[in-house]
Structure 1
């Protein structure tokens, strides 16, 4: 117990400002899902609320796991998830034309979601094991490239372009922060730019190719492939500054906006809550991400610094890609808005990121309390 207090020490040490911020984002998401269902907690808000409560409690419990345990478990977890991705390819459950899930009977597991976290931790552990002077040599590039590339290709085969891109982005962020020379990233970007037309024409599925073409020319098929993004822009624009008011959205309530409770939930929200509601939601996410980056800056070990930065940018990529997608600034790649979109996969991944960040933050606090600074 705290001296002179009634709050148990483990609870008092938690970063309650961030936890309350996450609860506020998730709670606002439940309000949006309630409205998207026409003023009913079913079928989305009630289920989402239960998942949020379970995953948040799980994250708080997992935050008690010491950093050394996360570090020791990196390779076994990465290997298990890699095997699970092979299992998805061989035995995976097919839904919506994609093969992304393992049906375990009591739960349908999507290993690619957890791999976003595992790749960041694996790359951080790789550079933690490497002497700092070796970071600018080729082994510092080849090893992480293999750690990123294999799950990237397996996820692309499902097919799931959005998740594959996030796996690649998370790993590349850790590589950059570890000190890999900038010229290699520039060279890689140029190579991708050269290979992109070939990939679009020969590697991507038809629906993925159409999404990119619609992004380049949104008006070419407004009633077909471009329907989602056209209706999303209409919903966001019609909300104006203050929005139409709670339960007064027309695009979602009249079923003009497809996937208004999942990938395009931000458009559903913006129509009713307007520019003000959208800016406040983005600000809340940015405060969470900033806290995660601060945790990494205060960390002592190289692993903790890189892991915290990589996990924080993983949350950033979720938010940035989804918002760009619904506003027509990026192709539609199926990335949900975490804690707001209906579904447990992204929610689980983000709260796992927060659990590890809270674990690193707890160690930082203990070190400072013990006079380590």
Structure 2
């Protein structure tokens, strides 16, 4: 057993020669900008013990420590460990649902004392690993049939339902998006597309009528007409649009935003963190930040294209698509183009579980990149 662990953790000098400094530099730039934005979002600080940016900085340091450990372990080991990790995350989701920590009407956290773990965050990364592992093992040349999708549908459906029951519509939706994106990537038969498309529309209608809770329906209705309830359910969207719009071309300046600092903008350090950036740095500053952010994701796709095997391609693609869709949905939510569904902007929004999960994703990308020349 000790020899096995030594083999897993052994660092080949050739891996250091293939270390991706572009990925690391881009990641550091985004993290530094995000942390400075979080400082502004929580300014003026009430106390060092409760300031979000201090906690986020600690999580970030721990995340980079995890990053260094993960890059030392060949990602091929995930082919063996993916199902034990999948079972573990299901147990954590069930534990959170039955006896977890409750806040704002949702029971989705496990109180560890020093840290409130939200199992639905690592569940998203575990789904990427699980689906990549399954599709890597079960390669189909002419496209997957509906029968061949039964197993990945079940693997996706169980965590989807557990998260939906918490209730956490946004994260449950991300689980479904991961499945759809990765399944389309591996290619389906035309008949499978038609059947799944019909099923998706039917389930959407059923969910609206029987599954969604009143406050979740209200969020969607508010998105369509936020001005109908400007001091109630439409307040967040309207204030977010005011904050971004008031930034103009070049912004009001760092620490000079009024919507956030005067507490007009709710959730300014979590789901609406990017609205603070838009107000302070304006249209040009937002474009620069988003340019670096999405170039980081494009570089992730480049890593996927140059992976050494099918599992590496699927795994890298899954990591990128997970971060991409969360970012797009969050930004469109802030601009008022999508309803508020509680999806954070990876690396930018405050939250330890989300940050650590995202850092694990980038560590996996680095891992795949460093081993692209291995046979």
Q: Is residue 2:128 matched to residue 1:129?
A: no
SS of equivalent residue, structure 1 residue 99: strand
Aligned residues of 2:144 and 2:187 also touching (Cα < 8 A): yes
| Partner Cα distance (2:329, 2:110) in 1 | 26
- TM-score normalised per structure 1: 0.91
1:230-277 deviation line (CA, Å, top 9, x unaligned):
000000001011001111111011111001111101111100100111
Structure 2 unaligned segments of length 5 or more: list them.
1-12
Contact 1:232 1:327 (8 Å CA) reproduced: yes
- Aligned counterpart in structure 1 of residue 36 of structure 2, from 13, 31, 37: 31
Query: Could you say which residue in structure 1 is the equivalent of 2:164?
Result: 156
Aligned-CA RMSD value: 1.9
SS where residue 102 of structure 1 aligns?
A: strand
Partner SS state of residue 258, structure 2: coil
2:356 alignment partner, one of 348, 368, 372: 348
Measure how far apart 1:136 and its partner are: 2.4
Shift of 1:80: 1.0
Aligned partner of 1:216 in structure 2 is: 224
Instruction: Tell me the residue number matched to 2:20.
Output: 15
Q: Deviations over 1:109-143 (max 9, x none)?
A: 22111110111111111112214247523332111
Deviates more, 1:211-220 or 1:180-189: 180-189
Q: Is 1:167 the counterpart of 2:169 in the alignment? A: no
C-alpha contact (below 8 Å) 1:36/1:260 kept by paired residues: yes
1:227 has 2:235 as partner: yes
Counterpart selection for 1:332 from 333, 337, 340: 340
Asked if structure 2 preserves the Cα contact closer than 8 Å seen for 1:141 and 1:180, the reply is no
Question: What per-residue deviation string (whole Å, max 9, x for no partner) do you get for residues 331-362 of structure 1?
Answer: 10111111111111211111111111111111
Of 188-197 and 306-315, the range deviating more from structure 2? 188-197
- Indicate which of 237, 241, 250 corresponds to 2:249: 241
Moved more, 72-81 or 293-302: 293-302
Cα 1:199–1:310, aligned 2, differ >3 Å: closer, same or farther? Answer: same
Which has the higher mean CA deviation after the structures are superposed, 295-304 or 132-141?
132-141
Structure 1 equivalent of residue 325 of structure 2: 317
1:167 is displaced (CA, Å) by 1.0
Equivalent residue number for residue 44 of structure 1: 52
Superposed counterparts of 1:287-298, under 5 Å: 287-298=295-306
Runs of 4+ in structure 1 over 6 Å off: none
Structure 2 equivalent of residue 66 of structure 1: 74
CA distance in 2, matches of 1:102, 1:322: 24
| Aligned equivalent of 1:100 | 108
TM-score of the superposed pair, with normalisation by structure 2: 0.91
The whole-number CA distance in structure 2 between the counterparts of 1:19 and 1:300 is 20
Aligned counterparts, 1:180-219, within 5 A: 180-219=188-227
Q: Conserved in 2, the CA contact under 8 Å of 1:127 and 1:140?
A: no
- The answer to whether the 8 A contact 1:211-1:331 is kept is yes
Name which of 282, 285, 289 aligns with 1:281: 289
Shift of 1:9: 6.6
Q: Which of 274, 277, 285 pairs up with 1:269?
A: 277
- Superimposed CA distance per residue, residues 52-73 of structure 1 (whole angstroms, 9 cap, x where no aligned partner): 1220221122111102212211
> Of the candidates 72, 82, 94, which is equivalent to residue 86 of structure 1?
94
Q: Distance in 1 between matches of 2:149 and 2:139?
A: 14
